[in-house]
């Protein structure tokens, strides 16, 4: 690639990155995206800022160390007549360059620890959703909302049929043509998304029915493994309504790359309406719901 | 000192056996076995590399073009297993075999017959492992980490487990041999604190190997009994715990990471002083830093598991311990730069690879530090950011050090100089394409592309295509390396001097080039001025 090409790409990416960091949160990955997204939950800025601070620190150290090295490479070359000196240690310098990194590390550790503590606190949640991974789809069961337990709202969520047809070997179909509106959703769309309300602390309890999966929506700022026999908990509080996309992040077999996650964040009123509809329809065709329950025997087991 | 005359009785003391079978299959000579290891690892590099080419070809653009997803998973698992256990580790053992006796003034390895056995196990282990690709059940497809329950679904689990047992036995025997050689066979006057840093790095690495290979063997044996003998170590249905496997595996796996990088540190610490014509800066600090890293490597394993749902206290502990490793690692990098400072540098191919190592390994170290921060790792974990990180550490780290070492010692091995022109062509192509290959993977990971997926959203298309192009060219570039090696061994007209490099110090440069079949049958008289670190305590 020519340097002009690289420059063009970087300019395009920088413009894109600026646009996406500026106002709306990034709901899905963008072409030429260079950095982590800020996310769309109250906690998601934590990893984002930590990433930026750590990257900044590393860049500064890198520039200092590598420039020292390049200065050495240019000044102390034999071809310029440099004669080797004899010294081979200097205690002061060694103490200094051991101490300074320690101080930097303490700062980073402080930032990371406080962010981690807030992540680990799942108390005070207003809603609980149970997430179960299967080869190769997700199941969502709504457990409670605003202190009331929810009756039989749960469903499977798997790769949308257009992506699924396109991704077959030799399908001859164009991945760029898989779109919802003008968003390119190839392998990042599902038949039935998880629907949750905005501005609500949602507790996710996550497990698996077969092998280990990992539930990851970058907009939440975290991923956590779905492990058979173990129930993991994490929380998210989305700040902006929208559609947020993610994928299974732990290798789980042949279709690991084809079990996306879509979270639709609705306003509280819209969510209440949606939930009521779901509860009503789950009561009518009880048989359908029952088969779904049977399909998830391991999910009920506490680890 | 601790010189012990454990010398095998050879029929011919001054030349190699004539017959091919006698010489190579029955060899007890550290140089021949070292050569076997190096040739084996080069072969594995190309086999593992061809798997990588298939992976990058499938990922060249979105959509499935070449293979079924299951085959893709076989390729990712086998690529890692072959590269780690077949290419990188045997290459270091080969370098150790060749150079450690020469560097400490020993006539051979302490246990020459075991040396033969530990090499000849390897081809069988890899035939076993690679044969699974042609069996009905297919090869291992659950990643090189073989996490249950997924790995228990594989039909070829028993083959992979048995292959890993063989590799483990080979590694442990190799490690015992290296420790015995270093502790018992040094020439009088070669004190521990006068040994080359490469020898130190291997001594410490060998202890790591002995400590952790049994943990891996235990973990995979538990997989085997879970699958075939009805145990429930990892089966929650029977009261087991899949996360237990990860703890045991990474108790092996993290020290394993250092097993693949500490000898590289040793190599760089040999090359840089030679071409800077100045003793290494802070010899004691360098040795201490290696020991420190080795110790810390035992208490950081769960940083591979930040997303499994560890308790808060555990996440904090493993985060702090992991961050600490950057201090001794930083010391090493600073010391290499300080070694160059005030030197009189020239830039032959080994030095170029060493300089590239220092920069690119440090970049891998930086991303490693970022990943130690648990909240950020919640995003990085299992993405291409991780893939970029460990390839910077293992390709531009371990592999570049091995290639640098090959250029550095090749004249001593063959008696001929390699072609400096083609060496530099190899270097510049390697260093450019490896960055085109791996640097964009940082961006892919940050943008949200998980690792180990055969297909991806079109947003990831641009960087994947760039990465694939870099990959193909980096792969092709390594053919130049083979050309340089063959030319140097068989066709080069330029004879190497005994010293080879103007600034080279140490016992290995006092013997003729090529190194005769038997060296130091009488322990050398050591003159501290001849050693690279002869005056550390003055
Ligand atoms: Cu998966
Ligand atoms: Cu590790």
Token reading at B92: 């270091």
Q: What average pLDDT does the structure give for chain A? A: 86
Check B378 against A230: CB less than 8 A apart: no
Q: How many domains does chain B have?
A: 1
Q: State the DSSP string of A212-278.
A: -EEEEEGGGTEEEEE-TT--EEEEE-B-S-EEEEEEE-S--STTGGG-EEEEEEE-HHHHHHHHHHH
Domain-located, residue B325: yes
Q: Could you say which ligand is closest to the alpha carbon of residue B322?
A: 2
Domain-located, residue B18: no
Q: Where in chain A are the domains? A: 45-120, 127-302
List pLDDT tens digits, range A75-112: 999 998 888 888 888 889 889 989 999 999 999 999 99
What residues have CB less than 8 Å from B441, skipping those under 6 apart? B384, B385, B387, B388, B391, B463, B467
A6-10, A204-208, A236-240, B88-92: which has the minimum mean pLDDT? A6-10
Concerning whether B433 is annotated as a catalytic residue, the answer is no
β-bridge partners, A131: A140, A206
pLDDT at B109 over 50: yes
Smallest CA–CA distance from A188 into chain B, residue: B457
What distance in angstroms lies between residue B466's CA and the mean position of ligand 1's atoms?
25
Interior angle at CA A72, CA A68 and CA A78, nearest 5: 175
pLDDT at A301 over 80: no
Annotation: CATH topology of A127-302 = Immunoglobulin-like (2.60.40)
Check B331 against A94: CB less than 8 A apart: yes
Q: Which residues of A touch B67 (CB under 8 A)?
A: 169
Whole-number percent of chain A with pLDDT over 90: 70
- Out of A9, A97, A233, the one facing B331 most closely (by C-beta) is A97
Check B443 against A33: CB less than 8 A apart: yes
Domain-located, residue B11: no
Check A169 against B65: CB less than 8 A apart: yes
Q: pLDDT value at position A88?
A: 82
Q: What is the complex's ipTM, to 2 decimals?
A: 0.90
Looking at chain A from residue 8 to 27, which residues have their Cβ under 8 Å from any Cβ of chain B? 9
B537: pLDDT confidence band, cut at 50, 70 and 90? low
Interior angle at CA B222, CA B218 and CA B228, nearest 5: 140
- The per-type count for chain A, helices as H runs and strands as E runs, is 6, 12
pLDDT at A200 over 90: yes
The closest of B441, B428, B427 to B469, measured between CA atoms, is B441
Check B378 against A221: CB less than 8 A apart: yes
Q: Which residues of A touch B458 (CB under 8 A)?
A: 31, 175-176, 184, 186
Q: What is the pTM of this model?
A: 0.92
List pLDDT tens digits, range A157-191: 999 999 999 999 989 899 999 998 888 999 999 99
Q: Which residues of B touch A187 (CB under 8 A)?
A: 455-457
- Which helix H or strand E contains A145, and what residues bound it? strand A137-145
- Interval B370-376 mean pLDDT: 95
List pLDDT tens digits, range B204-262: 999 999 999 999 999 999 999 999 999 999 999 999 999 999 999 999 999 999 999 99
- Which helix H or strand E contains A137, and what residues bound it? strand A137-145
pLDDT at B9 over 80: no
Concerning whether B256 is annotated as a catalytic residue, the answer is yes
Q: Best mutation site among A16, A249, A302 for testing chain B: the one with the most B CBs within 10 Å?
A: A249
Would you call B424 exposed, middle or buried from its count of C-beta atoms within 10 A (0-12, 13-18, 19+)?
A: middle
What distance in angstroms lies between residue B300's CA and the mean position of ligand 2's atoms?
6
Phi, psi values for residue B174, rounded to 5°: -60, -40
Which three-class secondary structure state does DSSP give residue A303? coil
Q: pLDDT value at position B352?
A: 97
What residues have CB less than 8 Å from B76, skipping those under 6 apart? B55, B143, B452
Domain-located, residue B533: no
- Interval A294-301 mean pLDDT: 43
The answer, for A257 touching chain B at a CB cutoff of 8 Å, is yes
B531: pLDDT confidence band, cut at 50, 70 and 90? confident
CATH number, position B98: 1.20.210.10
Domain-located, residue B526: no
Token reading at B196: 């080359």
Check A218 against B378: CB less than 8 A apart: no
- Which helix H or strand E contains A194, and what residues bound it? strand A194-197
Concerning whether B451 is annotated as a catalytic residue, the answer is yes
Domain-located, residue B534: no
CB A62 within 8 A of CB B366: yes
pLDDT higher at A280 or B2: A280
Domain-located, residue B36: yes
State how far residue A172 is from chain B, nearest Cα, in angstroms. Answer: 9
Residues spanned by the domain of B366? 26-509
Concerning whether B418 is annotated as a catalytic residue, the answer is no
């Amino acid at each position: 690639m020519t340097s002009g090409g690289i420059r063009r790409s970087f300019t395009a990416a920088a413009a894109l990155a600026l646009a996406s960091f500026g106002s709306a949160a990034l709901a899905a990955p963008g072409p030429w995206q260079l950095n982590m997204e800020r996310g769309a939950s109250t906690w998601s800025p934590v990893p984002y800022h930590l990433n930026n601070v750590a990257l900044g620190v590393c860049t500064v150290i890198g520039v200092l160390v590598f420039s020292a090295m390049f200065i050495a490479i240019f000044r102390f070359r034999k071809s310029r007549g440099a004669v080797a000196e004899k010294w081979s240690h200097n205690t002061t310098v060694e103490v200094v360059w051991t101490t300074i990194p320690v101080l930097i590390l303490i700062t980073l550790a402080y930032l990371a620890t406080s962010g981690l503590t807030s992540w680990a606190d799942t108390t005070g949640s207003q809603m609980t959703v149970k997430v179960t991974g299967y080869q190769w789809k997700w199941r969502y069961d709504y457990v409670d909302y605003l202190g009331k337990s929810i009756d039989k709202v749960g469903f499977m969520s798997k790769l949308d049929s257009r992506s699924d047809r396109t991704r077959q070997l030799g399908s001859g179909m164009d991945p760029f043509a898989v779109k919802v509106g003008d968003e390119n959703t190839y392998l990042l769309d599902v038949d039935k998304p998880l629907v949750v309300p905005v501005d609500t602390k949602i507790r996710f309890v996550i497990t698996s029915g077969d092998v280990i999966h990992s539930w990851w929506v970058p907009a939440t700022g975290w991923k956590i493994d779905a492990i058979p026999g173990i129930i993991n908990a994490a929380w998210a509080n989305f700040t902006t309504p929208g559609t947020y996309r993610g994928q299974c992040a732990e290798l789980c077999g042949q279709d690991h790359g084809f079990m996306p996650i879509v979270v639709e964040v609705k306003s509280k009123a819209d969510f209440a309406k949606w939930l009521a509809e779901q509860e009503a329809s789950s009561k009518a065709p009880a048989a359908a719901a029952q088969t779904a329950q049977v399909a998830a025997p391991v999910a009920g087991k506490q680890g | 000192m601790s010189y012990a005359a454990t010398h095998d009785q050879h029929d011919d003391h001054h030349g190699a056996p004539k017959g091919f079978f006698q010489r190579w299959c029955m060899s007890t000579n550290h140089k021949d076995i070292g050569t076997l290891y190096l040739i084996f690892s080069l072969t594995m590099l190309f086999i593992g590399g061809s798997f990588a080419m298939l992976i990058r070809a499938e990922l060249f653009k979105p959509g499935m073009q070449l293979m079924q997803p299951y085959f893709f998973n076989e390729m990712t698992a086998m690529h890692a297993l072959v590269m780690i256990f077949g290419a990188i580790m045997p290459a270091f053992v080969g370098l150790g075999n060749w150079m450690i006796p020469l560097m400490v003034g020993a006539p051979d390895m302490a246990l020459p017959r075991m040396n033969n056995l530990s090499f000849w196990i390897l081809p069988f282990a890899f035939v076993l492992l690679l044969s699974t690709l042609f069996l009905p059940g297919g090869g291992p497809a659950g990643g090189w980490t073989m996490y249950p329950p997924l790995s228990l679904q594989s039909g070829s689990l028993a083959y992979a487990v048995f292959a890993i047992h063989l590799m483990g036995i080979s590694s442990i025997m190799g490690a015992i041999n290296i420790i015995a050689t270093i502790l018992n066979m040094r020439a009088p006057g070669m004190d521990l604190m006068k040994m080359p840093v490469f020898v130190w790095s291997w001594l410490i690495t060998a202890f790591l190997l002995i400590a952790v290979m049994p943990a891996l063997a235990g973990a995979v044996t538990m997989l085997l009994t879970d699958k075939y003998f009805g145990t429930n170590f990892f089966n929650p249905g029977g009261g087991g715990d899949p996360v237990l496997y990860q703890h045991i595996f990474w108790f092996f796996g993290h020290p394993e990471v250092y097993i693949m990088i500490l000898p590289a540190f040793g190599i760089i610490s040999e090359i840089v002083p030679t071409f800077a014509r100045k003793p290494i800066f802070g010899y004691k600090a360098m040795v201490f830093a290696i020991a420190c890293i080795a110790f810390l490597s035992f208490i950081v394993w769960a940083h591979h598991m930040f997303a499994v749902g560890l308790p808060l206290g555990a996440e904090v502990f493993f985060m702090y311990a992991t961050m600490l490793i950057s201090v001794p690692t930083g010391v090493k990098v600073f010391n290499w730069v300080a070694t160059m400072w005030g030197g009189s540098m020239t830039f032959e191919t080994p030095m170029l690879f060493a300089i590239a190592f220092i920069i690119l390994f440090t970049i891998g170290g930086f991303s490693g530090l970022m990943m130690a921060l648990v909240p950020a790792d919640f995003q990085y974990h299992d993405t291409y950011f991780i893939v970029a990180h460990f390839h910077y550490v293992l390709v531009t780290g371990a592999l570049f050090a091995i290639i640098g070492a090959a250029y550095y010692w090749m004249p001593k091995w063959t008696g001929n100089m390699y072609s400096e022109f083609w060496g530099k062509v190899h270097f510049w192509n390697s260093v450019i394409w490896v960055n085109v290959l791996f640097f964009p993977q940082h961006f892919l990971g940050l943008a949200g592309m998980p690792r180990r997926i055969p297909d991806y959203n079109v947003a990831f298309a641009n960087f994947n295509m760039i990465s694939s192009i870099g990959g193909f060219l980096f792969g092709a570039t390594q053919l130049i390396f083979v050309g340089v090696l063959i030319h140097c061994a068989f066709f080069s007209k330029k004879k190497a001097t005994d010293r080879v490099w103007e600034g080279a110090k140490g016992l290995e440069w006092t013997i003729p080039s090529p190194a005769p079949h038997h060296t130091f049958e009488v322990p050398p008289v050591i003159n501290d001025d001849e050693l690279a670190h002869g005056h550390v305590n003055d």
